[in-house]
A and B are shown apart, each in its own frame.
Chain A
Amino acid sequence: METLAWLCLFIPLLSVALLTLAGSRISREAAAWFGTVMAIASFLCALGVFSGMLGEGSSARSHTYTLYTWAASPTLKVPFSILVDQLSMTEMLIVSGVGALIVMYSIGYMRGDVKERRFFIYLDLFVFSMLLLVMASNFVLLLAGWGMVGLSSYLLIGYWHERPEPVQAAKKAFIMNAIGDVGIAIAVFFMARDLGTTDFHTVFSQAGATWGVGTTTSNLIALALLVGAVAKSAQIPLHTWLPDAMEGPTPVSALIHAATMVTAGVYLVARAHVLFQNAPDVHALVALIGVATLLMAGVIALVQTDIKKIIAYSTMSQIGYMFAAVGVSAYSEGMFHLLAHAFFKALLFLGAGIVIHALSDEQDVRKMGGLASAMPWTTRMMWVGTIALIGIWPVSKDEILAAAIHNGDTTALIVYVGGLIGAFFTGIYAVRLMKLVFYGERSEFAKEHLHTGHGEGPWEMMFPVAVLAIGTLVVGFLSIGFGLKDIFGDWLASTAPTILPTTGQDVLTTAIAWTVGIGAGVWTWRLYDRPERVAAIRRRFEVPAIIAERKFGWDDLYYNIGYRPAAWLATFLGSFDRWVIGGSAWVVARTVRLLGFETAEAQTGIVRQYAAVLTLGAAVTAVYFLGKATL
């Protein structure tokens, strides 16, 4: 089992190396397929580890495998070791599984792109980095994976680097993620100083004794980790990079910014829950941030016109739910939502990608409409995703609300109320998306550009979407019918405690949530049959609509407090460098040149003058020596 775990981790890296070395010697198609096969191989290895783990007792399921000692100093020891336990196993399966599906999807989506090979290299690099992140058994290695997924994200967002917007978006994403990296680094510093190691088991068992509960140090550490999580998961206040990241190709949006990378923050909080339990104030902050984000993102999603941005804000909102869950100690509920979300959000993104691909890369929903008749299968699969998003099937979101009710304290109640309002918004924007894209009258643009001559899309794209749809349905079925969530909770119990609401609370919250969600959906459906009513509502809520369209002013804020001072400083330093430093160099050069010219005047070419000077020199020297001798 150890071998399989290592293989699972390193196969994608091997793929990166081989594809890089092969370069243009292999065809683009071959490179794409090779990348996909390696990702699938990684998933199979993960499955192998999983099956091995199933056979073990629940307490014996935590394994730490060490490859070698990466760094060892007297004060800090960092082994390159992975931790395979239930939590990381879940993540491994999600990352490699959904990852493999999306890589396969990319074969069809990126076909024809001249730099296809590079894309697959980056994708496999990402898979490796994310696996490293979730499999790390100490914080330093986690940080390494953390940084590398940030790098892969940067490379992939800015993939079409000939255009300026993706480049800017990539920079924005990377810089904000870098702020998060600093947060985790600070936490690592504390651990290194006080414990001499960053190994998970050691840190978690010693945390209470070393730093106490509710002390400033504990709060600081948890806060530092929170900064990292917030940056990576695009929560308030470090969320502005996620919508811009939609500049990357759709598979990238699906994999990194929906299913895996952005959920890394949730994983971190779940993994380090001990540290958060020791800092109750920060723990509550986690939940509050989650609630704030889910509400804000939900509102913004209502007014978006780009299909990918709608789904992006939806992602931000759903991760808010996950944060809210782990913030009220409902770790397994949060992770379960993460699992379900990986499926249905990737499904939604990839389905949107099929639509975009069929409409020659058009992403504006106002130019779509009436596509259901031309793309029936896509429409059905998107409905599966939408139903999951609203929280009907599976009921992962509702479980969070149930846990909040069960928890009962103030923060949890805020979570509940916020979550319910969020469900209302979710229903609206999800159904709005479907209605605008697939139903109604086909727009002029769509009529012209839609081409589904060869079926809705290439099979490499349809097949993964179908798998994801089936997966969503199965998870939903199991969650409702077979209490999958409880099984999941048991599975994770030894790594992350779980809250078990009573059946009554469960059913009640689910019922209320369903009512809200379905009600909002149906109302929206009927609303959009009549555009004049939509316009009327828009007029009534003019001001909130504008605030939503301006994304609540976050971009403007960061522009003014971040970019402008930095730009001013850069200009100032540039001028300083040019004028002061360059100027002084120029002055020196000029002076030397001037001196040179003046001194060269002495070389007149007149022989007798030279003779005269020589004589004078000789005379002076002679006088000097004579004087010395005689005196």
Chain B
Amino acid sequence: MTYEIVFWAATALAVVSALGVVLSGNPFYSALWLIVNLASLATFYLLLSADFLAAAQVVVYAGAVMIMFLFVIAYLGGRADEPTRDTPWWQFAAAIIAGGAIVAEVLVAVLSHSFGKSAGVPVTFGSPAFVGQLMLSRYLLAFEATSVLLLIAAVGGVLLGARRPAMRPPGSEEPFAPEPAPQVELPLQAFVMEAETDFPVQHLPTPDEEEAHT
């Protein structure tokens, strides 16, 4: 009985918080709603005997990732807000339909199948030891690969965040100006064709010129 109550409560919380994430005007509020969502998911995990994962979810996700988000949002300040241009109504409708379609499909898939009773699991199911043992024996390669991935992400993050060597005095940064597209050189074949034939080489517009036109 308790189980079902907890389940439905967590469900409601999850859905509401998810809607809050996507519908908030303020990214700060969105981030906070997501934290609530993560918490509700952690509850789900507990209901599903995934103790370790619930803990990891709270510690890693809510504790680290979301804090990172909040830091960035705080750094960005007002710039993080949504730009004011409106999306057309049909895009809004299309988004709802797309989301709804996926949901419908999954529900159809799941509900058309009767699953039977869940397996009986020992108490240690979902414990750290349990997960750790799996990771270090059967899924060792995945484990190592993930660690490499994290390393790459760290390096990437540092690179993205690093300032350019030439330090400009604060306030003198120029506004963002996209570099001019490099001169698209006609490939060699085009030159050869031109040299050998007298066809008028139709000058297809380079991406640059196209952008200038549109």
A and B in direct contact, judged by CB atoms within 8 A: yes
User: Which positions in A face B, CB cutoff 8 Å?
Assistant: 578, 582-583, 586, 589-590, 593-594, 597, 612, 615-616, 618-619, 622-623, 626, 630
Task: Return the CB mask of B63-106 against A: 1 if under 8 Å, else 0.
Answer: 00000000000000000000000000000001000100110010
**Quick one: which of B98, B101, B189, B204 contacts A594, CB cutoff 8 A?**
B204
Give Cα A582–Cα B189 distance, bound, in whole angstroms. 12
Stretch at the interface among B28-36, B47-55, B139-147, B192-200: B192-200
16 additional contacts (CB under 8 A) given A594-B204, A615-B98, A626-B105: A578-B196, A578-B197, A582-B196, A582-B197, A586-B193, A586-B197, A590-B202, A593-B204, A597-B204, A612-B98, A619-B98, A619-B101, A619-B105, A622-B102, A623-B105, A626-B108
Instruction: Across the interface, name the chain B residue whose C-beta is closest to A625.
Output: B109
Asked if B189 and A589 sit within 8 Å, CB to CB, the answer is yes
Q: 8 Å CB contacts to A: which residues of B99-124?
A: 101-102, 105, 108-109, 112
Give Cα A615–Cα B108 distance, bound, in whole angstroms. 17
8 closest residue pairs by CB, A with B: A622-B105, A615-B98, A619-B101, A626-B109, A582-B197, A586-B193, A586-B199, A597-B204
Give Cα A590–Cα B203 distance, bound, in whole angstroms. 11
Instruction: Across the interface, name the chain B residue whose C-beta is closest to A618.
Output: B102
Give Cα A371–Cα B41 distance, bound, in whole angstroms. 122
Instruction: Across the interface, name the chain A residue whose C-beta is closest to B108.
Output: A626
Asked if B189 and A630 sit within 8 Å, CB to CB, the answer is no
Give Cα A597–Cα B108 distance, bound, in whole angstroms. 41
Residues of A within 8 A of B101 (CB): 619
Residues of A within 8 A of B204 (CB): 593-594, 597
Residues of B within 8 A of A589 (CB): 189, 193
Task: Return the CB mask of B182-214 against A: 1 if under 8 Å, else 0.
Answer: 000000010001001101001010000000000
Give Cα A597–Cα B206 distance, bound, in whole angstroms. 10
Residues of B within 8 A of A623 (CB): 105
How many contacts between A and B, using CB within 8 angstroms? 33
Instruction: Across the interface, name the chain A residue whose C-beta is closest to B197.
Output: A582
Residues of A within 8 A of B94 (CB): 612
Main secondary structure of the interface of B (DSSP, over half): helix
Residues of A within 8 A of B105 (CB): 619, 622-623, 626
Q: 8 Å CB contacts to A: which residues of B159-196?
A: 189, 193, 196
Give Cα A595–Cα B64 distance, bound, in whole angstroms. 47
Chain B nearest CB, measured from A4 CB (Å): 59
Asked if A615 and B102 sit within 8 Å, CB to CB, the answer is yes
**Quick one: which of A586, A594, A619, A630 contacts B102, CB cutoff 8 A?**
A619
6 contacts between A and B (CB under 8 A): A578-B196, A594-B204, A619-B101, A622-B105, A622-B109, A626-B109
Residues of B within 8 A of A622 (CB): 102, 105, 109
Chain A nearest CB, measured from B200 CB (Å): 11
Give Cα A249–Cα B105 distance, bound, in whole angstroms. 94
Residues of B within 8 A of A590 (CB): 202
Instruction: Across the interface, name the chain B residue whose C-beta is closest to A589.
Output: B189
Instruction: Across the interface, name the chain B residue whose C-beta is closest to A615.
Output: B98
Instruction: Across the interface, name the chain A residue whose C-beta is closest to B109.
Output: A626
Residues of B within 8 A of A626 (CB): 105, 108-109
Give Cα A589–Cα B199 distance, bound, in whole angstroms. 13
Chain B nearest CB, measured from A603 CB (Å): 10
Residues of B within 8 A of A593 (CB): 204
Give Cα A622–Cα B101 distance, bound, in whole angstroms. 11
Residues of B within 8 A of A583 (CB): 197, 199
Chain B nearest CB, measured from A620 CB (Å): 10
Give Cα A590–Cα B98 distance, bound, in whole angstroms. 38
Give Cα A233–Cα B196 distance, bound, in whole angstroms. 44
Give Cα A593–Cα B193 distance, bound, in whole angstroms. 14
Give Cα A578–Cα B197 distance, bound, in whole angstroms. 7
Residues of A within 8 A of B193 (CB): 586, 589
Q: Are A630 and B196 also in contact (CB < 8 A) when A593-B204, A615-B98, A622-B105 are?
A: no
Instruction: Across the interface, name the chain B residue whose C-beta is closest to A623.
Output: B105
Chain B nearest CB, measured from A612 CB (Å): 7
Residues of B within 8 A of A630 (CB): 112
Give Cα A53–Cα B96 distance, bound, in whole angstroms. 113
Chain B nearest CB, measured from A347 CB (Å): 55
Instruction: Across the interface, name the chain A residue whose C-beta is closest to B99.
Output: A615
Chain B nearest CB, measured from A600 CB (Å): 8
Give Cα A590–Cα B197 distance, bound, in whole angstroms. 14
Residues of B within 8 A of A586 (CB): 193, 197, 199
Instruction: Across the interface, name the chain B residue whose C-beta is closest to A619.
Output: B101
Give Cα A358–Cα B193 distance, bound, in whole angstroms. 55
Residues of A within 8 A of B98 (CB): 612, 615-616, 619
Chain B nearest CB, measured from A28 CB (Å): 41
Residues of B within 8 A of A618 (CB): 102
Chain A nearest CB, measured from B184 CB (Å): 11
Give Cα A459–Cα B173 distance, bound, in whole angstroms. 92
Residues of A within 8 A of B199 (CB): 583, 586
Chain A nearest CB, measured from B43 CB (Å): 28
Chain A nearest CB, measured from B203 CB (Å): 12
Instruction: Across the interface, name the chain B residue whose C-beta is closest to A587.
Output: B199
Residues of A within 8 A of B112 (CB): 630
Give Cα A386–Cα B112 distance, bound, in whole angstroms. 119
Chain B nearest CB, measured from A233 CB (Å): 45
